[in-house]
Amino acid sequence: MRPTTAWNALMRPPWRFLVSSWPWRGLLYLLSSALIGIVLLPLSVVTLLLLPLWGIVIGALERRRARLLGFPRLASGHVPLTRDQRHLWLAVRMNEGATWRETAALLLDLVLGFVALAVISAEAVCFVVFAFIIGSGMNGPSSIKLFSDVTFTVRPDTWWPVIPLAFLALVVFGYLNTLLATGQASLLRVLGGPRQRELTRNVERLVQSRATLVAAFETERRRIERDLHDGVQQELVTLAARLGMISLELDELTSRGTDTVLARGALDVAQGQAERAMATLRNTVRGIHPAVLTDHGLRAALEELADRAPVALALDVGGIERLPTSVETATYYLVTEAITNTAKHTDATTLSVRITVKDDVLTAMVSDNGRGGAEENAGTGLRGLRERADTLGGTFTIISPPGGPTSLRMTLPIFAERSAPYATAAR
Amino acid sequence: MRLLLAEDSALLREALVALLERLGHVISATARTAPELSSEYARLHDAGEAPDLVLTDVRMPPSGTDDGLRAALEIRAAHPTQPVMVLSQYIADTYARELLTLPNGAVGYLLKDRVNRVRDFAAALESVATGGTVIDPEVVQHLLSRTRPGPLDRLTPREREVLGLMADGGSNAEIADALTLTDAAVSKHIGNIFIKLDLSPVEDNRRVRAVLTYLQSADR
């Protein structure tokens, strides 16, 4: 298996490590460190007051640069800001722990940058020396002065030990570079990455925004249902009443001896059309959001569903009262989804629905008498149910052993509704 | 006859007033909200001019759920013989059950769509005003097609068909026609339905009672 990070690569046998790309990546990382150090030093000295801002830049850079050594890209520890919060950017950033940790990372980068520069320079000097020795040795005996009073002489037959020495240096430097680079990257990751608390906070924000989204979606469906009811449905009924008026006028004409056969035929067609339009719209509206759920609650809505379902539905809903809209809707969709699945994919003939409310938790259990084997990933319906349950802080379980039966179980916590009932605000 | 009409949509209210007046009725008052319906009814009643029929929409302000139905039920509770006809945009068995369990009849529940067939609509109004019970055919169909266990299980499929046509207002001859049976066979089926639903032969209006009995015992 290929190592995923530089740490894993260092653990491998040397002959594997040395021929891989990792030593080169380490060298590249150190080179970039040195470059950053060289650029940062004058920048930091000149704009000392802007250090935290450079810190944010360095933080972002380091979170990406660590990928060179195989580390996964880190999330930022900063609070995400939306477009309309942009004007608060500076104030928010200056008050964040993440910003100051990144500033520390910048200072560390400065120091380590020059360490990297020193190491790379020393390595380069070594190889220059080796090359010089080889060059001198091949061109005949010459005396090389190493330090103040240490001299040695290389001749064409004595320069060769430099070759294994150079290889040894390559090995040592390969390990040294990678180790230094990986150590630096790891240290910077600690400083530039998010803290557990920051991660939790961001997750909470996500969960919350998803819940808001789902709630908004439901509100929107109810609004559409209400708009259709107050708008086009009433207009269609008005149209029907007007058509009724016309038929009365035709009766009147007929009684006076006028021939109205053709007019009556045309009117009949129009009336039939109006009836179909009203029926179609009613079905559509029911699909968008069942009015009975809003008006009468879960119990009544499930009873309506039982009347319409293509499979026999045995309801055991006890004495449940009105519940928060989100809970009622989620439970309603659990049952409709179960009915759809049962009718479509199984040979089950009955569905039993059991709903209990205890200690502010609603538990809904829907079981069929089919052969089981339902899979959550088979369609969007069951996954949608899980998301709905997750969003509301509940759970969703599918129990469907081969041979059956299939049971869907959803639990939902019941919190008091925060917003006022939709209906009062609707008009 | 004199009518009290409650409907929140101005457009539809106007059309209904025009239609009802064309049918020769008098609109004593109109109401746009459930509280207005209650107060208008009280006003008319106190003046000694209680309407011959209260005609109301189910979904009305203030809450926009079933306020109209609630107001109608309250009126009925205070004046048990007041004829009430409820119009609804959609079928809800819950509404039907609440209305049709009222004693004394003189109650109706129709889809708003029915104003289309104005003669039938007019006849339904007359029927309720004179103490009859009118149930929308679609409601009846629903109740008859329900899949959960109920007293209807006692009926054979044929008897169920007959009951459905009965609830649609079909006469024995019409039912016989529709099912290609003899009149005698239809009478026998109907007799069986009455027995199975425990309706005594002396009871009035057994046809509607057959459906009502079912409604009352369903579910609860």
The pLDDT assigned to B11 comes to 92
Residue percentage of chain A with pLDDT more than 90:
26
Q: Who contacts A197 (Cβ-Cβ below 8 Å, separation ≥6)? A: none
From A295's Cα to the closest Cα of chain B, the distance in A is: 5
pLDDT band at B215 (very low <50, low <70, confident <90, very high): low
pLDDT band at A323 (very low <50, low <70, confident <90, very high): confident
Whether residues A183 and A313 share a domain: the answer is no
Whether residues A32 and A70 share a domain: the answer is yes
Whether residues B92 and B183 share a domain: the answer is no
> What are the start-end ranges of the H helices in A193-324?
196-228, 234-255, 261-288, 291-308
Assess whether pLDDT exceeds 80 at residue B96: no
- Name the residue range of residue B196's domain: 141-217
Contact indicator for A357, A414 with CB cutoff of 8 Å: yes
**What's the mean pLDDT when you consider all of chain B?**
84
Whether residues A347 and A279 share a domain: the answer is no
Assess whether pLDDT exceeds 80 at residue B42: yes
The position carrying tokens 């439901």 is A218
Q: Who contacts A162 (Cβ-Cβ below 8 Å, separation ≥6)? A: A130, A133, A134, A137
Whether residues A18 and A73 share a domain: the answer is yes
Whether residues A281 and A301 share a domain: the answer is no
Contact indicator for A268, B38 with CB cutoff of 8 Å: no
Long-range contacts of A262-267 (CB under 8 A, 24+ apart): A267/A243
Residue where a domain terminates, one of B135, B152, B183: B135
The pLDDT assigned to A2 comes to 65
Assess whether pLDDT exceeds 60 at residue A418: no
Whether residues A272 and A305 share a domain: the answer is no
Global pTM reads 0.60
Between A and B, how many CB-CB pairs are < 8 A?
Answer: 116
**Segment 364-403 of chain A within 8 Å of chain B by CB:** none
The position carrying tokens 């207009």 is A235
pLDDT band at A206 (very low <50, low <70, confident <90, very high): confident
**What's the mean pLDDT when you consider all of chain A?**
85
Is A204 inside a domain boundary?
no
- Kindly report the number of other CB atoms within 10 A of residue A346's CB atom: 21
Region A80-92: mean pLDDT is 82
pLDDT band at B218 (very low <50, low <70, confident <90, very high): very low
Residue percentage of chain A with pLDDT more than 70:
95
Contact indicator for B76, B54 with CB cutoff of 8 Å: no
Of A234, A291, A303, the CB nearest to B9: A234
CATH number, domain with residue B168: 1.10.10.10
Q: Who contacts A151 (Cβ-Cβ below 8 Å, separation ≥6)? A: A143, A144, A145
- Name the residue range of residue A277's domain: 216-288
Residue where a domain terminates, one of B135, B170, B194: B135
Whether residues B71 and B91 share a domain: the answer is yes
- Kindly report the number of other CB atoms within 10 A of residue A400's CB atom: 20
Whether residues A39 and A185 share a domain: the answer is yes
pLDDT band at A243 (very low <50, low <70, confident <90, very high): very high
In three-state secondary structure terms, A152 is strand
Whether residues A187 and A80 share a domain: the answer is yes
Tokens of B124: 């339904």
Helix axes B34-46, B67-78, angle to 10 degrees: 20
Of A240, A315, A427, the CB nearest to B61: A427
Whether residues A27 and A176 share a domain: the answer is yes
Whether residues B49 and B97 share a domain: the answer is yes
φ, ψ for residue A147, nearest 5 deg: -110, -160
- Kindly report the number of other CB atoms within 10 A of residue A311's CB atom: 18
Assess whether pLDDT exceeds 90 at residue B129: yes
CATH number, domain with residue B53: 3.40.50.2300
Residue percentage of chain B with pLDDT more than 70:
85
Whether residues B152 and B176 share a domain: the answer is yes
Whether residues B73 and B87 share a domain: the answer is yes
Residues of B with CB under 8 A from a CB of A: 9, 11-12, 14-16, 18-19, 22-23, 59, 61-66, 89-90, 92-94, 112-113, 115-119, 121, 142-143, 145-148, 219
Closest residue in B to A282 (Cα) is B90
In one-letter notation, the amino acid at residue A412 is L
> Measured between beta carbons, which residues in chain A are less than 8 angstroms from residue B61?
427
Region A32-50: mean pLDDT is 89
Convert the pLDDT of each residue in B138-150 to its tens digit.
Answer: 777 776 665 445 5
Assess whether pLDDT exceeds 80 at residue A329: yes
Convert the pLDDT of each residue in A285-306 to its tens digit.
Answer: 888 888 888 877 898 888 888 8
Judged by a CB distance cut-off of 8 A, whether residue A275 touches chain B is yes
Assess whether pLDDT exceeds 60 at residue A331: yes
In one-letter notation, the amino acid at residue A128 is V
Convert the pLDDT of each residue in A159-171 to its tens digit.
Answer: 778 888 888 998 9
Three-state helix/strand/coil letters over A331-364: HHHHHHHHHHHHHHHCCCCEEEEEEEEECCEEEE
Contact indicator for A422, A219 with CB cutoff of 8 Å: yes
In three-state secondary structure terms, A368 is strand
Whether residues B131 and B145 share a domain: the answer is no
Residue where a domain terminates, one of B135, B159, B179: B135
Count of domains observed in chain A: 3
Whether residues B89 and B147 share a domain: the answer is no
Q: Quick one: A152 exposed, middle or buried, by C-beta within 10 A (0-12, 13-18, 19+)?
A: exposed
Whether residues A69 and A189 share a domain: the answer is yes
**Segment 218-257 of chain A within 8 Å of chain B by CB:** 226, 229-230, 233-235, 237-238, 240-245, 247-248
Count of domains observed in chain B: 2
pLDDT band at B84 (very low <50, low <70, confident <90, very high): very high
The pLDDT assigned to B52 comes to 96
Region B65-88: mean pLDDT is 92
